[in-house]
Amino acid sequence: MSLKSFVRIVSLALFIFLLSAPNVLAAPGPRAPLPKLLPAPPLPAVPSLGAKAYYLIDVQSGQVLAQKNADAHWPPASTTKLMTLYILLQEIRSGQMHLNTMLPISEKAWRARGSRMFLKEGTSVSVSNLIQGILVPSGNDAAVTVAEGVAGSTHAFVSLMNAYAKRLGMNNSHFTGVSGLPAKGLYVSAHDLANLAEHMISEFPQVLQYASEKSFTYNKITQANYNKLLWIDSSVDGLKTGWTQEAGYNLVATAKRNGTRLIAVILGVNPGPPSTAQGYRHLSQVAESLFDWGFRFHTTRKLYPAATSLAKVRVWFGSPGTIQVGPAQALYVTVPKGRYSQLQARMQLPTSLQAPIAKGQTIGRVEIRLNGKLLQNVPLISLQAAPRGGLWLRMKDTVLSWFEKH
């Protein structure tokens, strides 16, 4: 090759390089807040609850606002029935059952000890009534009927309960029955119950229509909901109470105020005394103080809508030559009120990629921190595809990448 030809090739490559140089944007921070005029107020301590364990979580952001002994094992009492109900709802979603499906009532269900919806042996009951009978009067007979209708026996149904617990990551829970009556090896954790409640609400939001009913009439017998929060707080719309001599008073509750939904799990309030209306009212007051603390002193904001472009990344040997990246789902963050302006966002992204890149492919991550504390760490995906380019594009990028490396 002559010197003149070599100079022409190098000049052409430099020209292409100048036209096609990678353009990677710097990682942006959160949306600019309003000017902070006053220092952020201090965050008050969690109120004294007198519970063995508790857990408070924001549903949108998934952030834990308060917790105590969150992974400790504790007798669930009738909060067990949330898992029983969750499996029934899965059956409905799969089409195996419907709300108007009629299930037979066995002698075992009719003889179930403890709280009941007063089913009659030899008759049938609709799935819709069973849902109500579990959530309002906490019917043990309803739970047994569901188990036998879904799996043929309570023993087989319990194996389903533990399989679903494993699938949901409830690593500190184990079920031995369908209703929560005391038994060796039966335990849950506050964290696990919150996880179960979060899945139930997100997958089956219609369940809250049942859980928020203050009373239920079946077989000409009207019973009040054990969740007394429904009477004292209009923002509460679920979910389930429980009591045994061993467990004391337990509660899995949820409330929504001004678009923000919290889930509170409270276990072991006043263990020992008999189940009384006064005991449930006290449990409700304990839960209300935790909800008030959570809503009053925290705010949840949407940082980025789903599929919002946060940055561009250079793609070699592909078309287009850069791709947009962003979160697959809307990104929410919960912070103490007055501290939104202190958030920091940092993205972890490669400086460049090689085609092909599929739409939705994980490219990196974004971290959201508050005063150094990690609040969110979510993946960033490609918002567009970048298939492998043609021969000329690949040749061009080969030359450009060579110059970039050298």
Q: Known catalytic residues?
A: 78, 81, 138
Rounded CA separation 329/322 (Å)? 22
Distances (CA, A) of 106 to 82, 121, 134: 22, 5, 17
User: 368, 319, 332: which is closest to 348 by C-alpha?
Assistant: 368
Rounded CA separation 363/372 (Å)? 24
Instruction: Tell me, letter by letter, the H, E, C secondary structure of the chain.
Output: CCHHHHHHHHHHHHHHHHHHCCCCCCCCCCCCCCCCCCCCCCCCCCCCCCCCEEEEEECCCCCEEEEECCCCCECCHHHHHHHHHHHHHHHHHHCCCCCCCEEECCHHHHCCCCCCCCCCCCCEEEHHHHHHHHHCCCCHHHHHHHHHHHHCCHHHHHHHHHHHHHHCCCCCCECCCCCCCCCCCCEECHHHHHHHHHHHHHHCCCHHHHHCCCEEEECCEEEECCCCHHHHCCCEEEEEEEEECCCEEEEEEEEEECCEEEEEEEEEECCCCCCCHHHHHHHHHHHHHHHHHHHHHEEEEEEECCCCCCEEEEEECECCCEEEEEECCCEEEEEECCCHHHEEEEEECCCEEECCECCCCEEEEEEEEECCEEEEEEEEEECCCECECCHHHHHHHHHHHHHHHC
